[in-house]
Amino acid sequence: MLLALCGALVHYFNSVAPGIISSDRRLKEAANALMAHVLIKDGQVTIDANAAGKPSLPAPDSIKYALRDTQGRLLGGNAQLPAVVMNNETSQLFAMSQVDHRSLRTLTTRFDTRAGLIFITVADARSTVDPAARFGFMSTLLWDFVQLDVTLVLVWVGIQLGLRPVKRLRNEIADRSPLDLRPIEESSVPREIAPVVVTLNRLFTMLRTAVQSQQQFIANTAHQLRTPITGMQAQLDLLAAEPAAQPIKERLLTLQEAIRQLAHSANQLLTLARADPPRTSRQRINRWI
């Protein structure tokens, strides 16, 4: 947006500058012509339109002018042109003045005559640079913003299309169970995210090794516990059947129940180690991702 605004401003100044240069040249020519036609008679300052051998005066419909003294009193010309204040170090001054509800570019020139110091102000009535330049600026700015909007739409569409492989990869991971650590097919993903997939596969390999080691440890431990537990349970059954063990039979029954629970726990550990990883709903996986 900032680049579009800067481009429109550059276009605006490029459109305005030639018109301003041309208007300034016309104003200087008109001021020089008026100074050449200034006539002082009986202390009065007038413009001699019939002076021969001098530059021709500008057309009244193209150039407006006004002659004023140092007190700002109108000596001749158009009274609508405002008086311009100039310091003693300035001989010519360009400005923008309001004339007939129009903004016109004016040139005020200090001119020293026998009747004293006068100021000649000329305005370019044909100046149509500002409206045209403003129209060009607004049209350029509007077109730049239209291009910006179209570009943003194209970028959004491109991003959506470009993210499709990433979404497929996300769905593939989401469809897995928490313990499904198979490697992801690297050839099915864009090369931009291939390093991520390689890293994930390396992580899956380490996790799969750790899970397999854990399952193997649980299976070995449960299997190793079953033999002594079974032997203890058999010995307790034989001991409970002996007549000499009748006084402590209740304690033996309690010990038998504890041994049976321990055997049940060992069987559960062995079953858990041999079982397949449970499936988990996709909604839960999506929450995790």
Domains of the chain, start order: 2-132 (3.30.450), 179-288 (1.10.287)
Contact between 96 and 155 (Cβ < 8 Å): no
Task: Give the number of other CB atoms < 10 A from CB of residue 203.
Answer: 11
Per-residue pLDDT of the chain (289 residues; tens, 9 = 90+): 788 778 777 777 776 777 778 888 888 888 888 888 777 777 677 777 666 667 777 777 778 888 888 888 888 888 888 888 887 777 888 888 877 777 788 888 888 887 778 888 888 877 555 566 666 667 777 888 888 889 999 999 999 888 888 888 888 888 888 778 888 888 777 788 888 888 988 998 898 888 888 888 888 887 787 778 888 888 878 887 888 777 887 888 888 888 888 888 888 877 777 765 544 444 443 444 3
Q: Sort 201 into a burial class: Cβ within 10 Å, 0-12 / 13-18 / 19+.
A: middle
Question: Rounded to whole angstroms, how far apart are CA atoms 288 and 286?
Answer: 5
